[in-house]
Structure 1
Amino acid sequence: MQLKSFGSIFFFSLIGIFYYSYFSVGQYLIESNTAEISTHQTVACEKVLTYRIANIDEKYDISNSELKQVMRKVESLWEQSVQKELLQYKKEGEIGIHLIYGDEQQRSQNEKQLSRRIKTLDHRVELMRKSFNRLSKKYKEKSGEMEKALDKYNKAASKFNKKIEEWNKKGGIPRSKKSEVEQMQKDLKQLQRKGNRLKTAAESLRQRANAKSEQLNDLVDRQNEMIAEYNSRFSEVGRFDQGQYRVAGNQKRINIYQFGNRAELTAVLAHETGHALGLDHVDNPKSIMHAVMDKQNIFDLSLTKEDVSALRQRCNNY
């Protein structure tokens, strides 16, 4: 009596090698321009400089009271350095503050919107990647179990077939070994069923992992398309004025054209207010009064020694 061995259980490879890149954000060099400033401007410490909230474009998400709070921070920033009142809000203040929603702010909003879309998609990619990794891990574990079961079955089948072959050469299976042979056949069938179950489970995991991999690759393709769009539209350095202090005749105004958040608005207003106090640009790139708003720590804004020196020099003249 001979028993036919079962076919091998195949191993399956997972498809879906995927890559995704991160986008680089181009920095805007934002210069504060003092063009058209009158030579008859107010000088720091000569008198208290008053200001008013003149106009806020409705597209900005900031109220009059919130803008006043920002200006109070600006007041404190400059006044603490000389221990003297320099700025004061008045309803009819001499300097009008205007928040003007222009092309620069629209560009900034478009950039933030596309950036948020990329980050949202990145989150989805990360979740799907984790799901794919979990399925891949389960598939590998199940494939390992299948391999062990197949090896155990093949060894048992080989031992059984060898035994049967020896008995056949001697004239057949002895009657006394019949129950032993039946038990060995039963054990082999159990090993076969277990191997098939593991094969089915592994195949199911493989298909699910591959489907997840295809979905993941589609998301990564979409993400990379967005990244390419972002880089083509926003990665080049753009140079424009975030704000200006302007004097025309008796009219004095601070125009703010673009800011990304309240911290940046505070920094730009502090810079333009510095001009209103009579200060020129300084050389330190970390200074509020540097020509380019790029290196300042806007989230912990403070005057540098160059800023303080410039202000004290103006104050000492009066």
Structure 2
Amino acid sequence: MARWKWLLGLLVCVAVVAGVWTRLQTPCTRPITLRLGQVDDKFGVTRDEALEALRHAEELWERALGRALFTHDPRASVTVNLVYDERQQTTQARDRLQNSLREAEDSHAAVGRSYDHWRMTYDGRARDFEAKHAAYEERAQAYNAQVQQWNARGGAPPEVQGSLETERGRLEAMRRQLENDRAALEEFGATVKSLAEKGNAIAEAHNRTATTFNSSYGEPRQFHKGEFDGREITVFEFHDVRDLTLVLAHELGHALGLGHVNDPTAIMNAVGGEQPIEPLSLAAADLAALKTRCGRR
């Protein structure tokens, strides 16, 4: 009885090896069966969103060959898992920092627009004030010259005194208006100065954050967002559903037997970061690798 069990085990092993050998010899002839397994909710995506991303990733390869390369089966040969660990924590920290940079840039732009508006208004009012002040000074000098002339003659006649008093009243009204204009101009100037200081503070904070971001995340990294070990596709990190689709497409490429390619815009490039996410598509290098591996049937 033990001998028959041993023989049965041997036959099963031979069958498995034969199946693997057949698959290696005839790649892409039968669809790879897939199953969506673990989806850690700390990623912030639903199971339906993950499944949609997986199907979109499958379609990229299938459309290129015009036939089914993957199918879903509860008893699948390849399970797809989304496993949350320190890599995704790092990605989320990076995204938060990048969002802070974008918010700072938006705030700086808004403050800049406000500064430009107030500075333009201030400059216009300053020019008006200078013109009014110059006109006042000119009239005041003329008035004072007349007064001095009449005083040198021993005083002005009554009719001249009346006109001088009228001019003096007008000059006093102009002076009061100039004082009001000066106070308003100083308020405008204080607003302009405050906006300039606020803009500079935002710029300095942005530059500090940018320095931190570049030192921590500026260098492109090897494509370790996911891995395929022959039985499982495990995704460790992604920014959003579109990026998840890219990671899944990359690992599905490995499941098809594709290696890395040199084109930095290709899905199968070893370094992530330069692939176009929207719309996601296969590069020429991806297509060449796929056709070399799978051919056309």
In the superposition, the TM-score normalised over structure 2's length comes to 0.82
Q: Which has the higher contact order (CA 8 A, sep 6+)?
A: 1
Report whether the alignment pairs 1:299 with 2:282.
no
* d(CA) in 2 for partners of 1:121, 1:105: 24
In the alignment, the residues of structure 1 paired with residue 226 and residue 92 of structure 2 have an alpha-carbon distance, to the nearest angstrom, of 17
Aligned position for 1:270: 249
**Change in 2 beyond 3 A, CA 1:195/1:65:** closer
Q: Does structure 2 retain, via aligned residues, the 8 Å contact 1:150–1:195?
A: yes
Paired residue for 1:158? 141
Partners of 2:288 and 2:240 in 1: CA distance? 28
Deviation at 1:300, TM superposition (A): 2.0
Segment of structure 1 superposing worse, 286-295 or 157-166? 286-295
Structure 1 293/177 Cα, relative in aligned 2: closer, same or farther at 3 Å? Answer: closer
Task: Quote how far apart the aligned CAs of 1:41 are.
Answer: 5.5
Say if 2:223 and 2:270, in contact at 8 Å, map to a contact too. Answer: no
Any stretches of 5+ residues in structure 2 without a counterpart? 1-19
Further displaced range: 179-188 or 291-300: 291-300
State how far apart, in whole Å, the 1-side matches of 2:186 and 2:280 are. 59
Matched, 1:189 2:172: yes
Tell me the distance in 2 between the aligned counterparts of 1:287 and 1:152: 71
Aligned to 1:286: 265
Deviations 1:203-244 (A, max 9, x none): 222233334444444433333332333233222444451221
3-state DSSP of counterpart to 2:43: coil
Q: Give the counterpart letter for 1:286 in structure 2.
A: T
- Paired position in structure 1 for 2:13: none
Cα deviation, 1:238-296, whole Å, max 9, x if unaligned, reads 4451221112xxxx111112211222221221121122122233343333333333433
Contact 2:220 2:273 in 1 (8 A): no
Instruction: Say if 1:41 and 1:54 are closer, same or farther in 2 by CA, change over 3 A.
Output: farther
Deviation at 1:126, TM superposition (A): 2.9
In 2: Cα distance, 1:287 partner to 1:51 partner? 23
Cα displacement (A) at 1:153? 1.3
Alignment of 1:37-76 (within 5 A): 44-76=27-59
1:137 Cα deviation after fit: 2.9
Deviation at 1:317, TM superposition (A): 9.7
Q: Alignment length, in residue pairs?
A: 278
SS in structure 2 opposite 1:47?
coil
Structure 1: 5+ residue runs without aligned partners? 1-36
Aligned 8 A contact 1:43 1:314 in 2: no
Structure 1 residues 300 and 127: CA distance shift in structure 2, 3 A: closer
1:256 maps to which of 235, 242, 259: 235
The 5 A counterparts of 1:203-242 are 203-239=186-222, 241-242=224-225
By how many angstroms is 1:52 displaced? 0.3
Matched AA of 1:210: K
TM-score, normalised via structure 1 length = 0.77
Residue matched to 2:161: 178
Q: What secondary structure does 1:53 align onto?
A: strand
2:95 matched residue in structure 1: 112
Higher mean C-alpha displacement, 236-245 vs 69-78 = 236-245
Q: Residue 14 of structure 2 aligns with which residue?
A: none
Which of the two has greater helix per residue? 2
Give % identity. Answer: 27
Q: Hey, what does 1:14 align to over in structure 2?
A: none
Task: Give me the whole-angstrom Cα distance separating, in 2, the residues matched to 1:224 and 1:290.
Answer: 31
Q: Distance in 2 between matches of 1:179 and 1:56?
A: 95
Q: CA RMSD in A?
A: 2.8
Render the CA deviation track for 1:66-109: whole Å, top value 9, x for unaligned. 22212222222222222222110112211011112222221111
d(CA) in 2 for partners of 1:271, 1:92: 23
Q: Which of 115, 119, 126 in structure 2 is aligned with 1:136?
A: 119
Partner residue, 1:92 = 75
Q: Structure 2 vs 1, CA of residues 312 and 224 (structure 1 numbering), >3 Å: closer, same or farther?
A: closer
Distance 1:150 1:317 in 2: 86
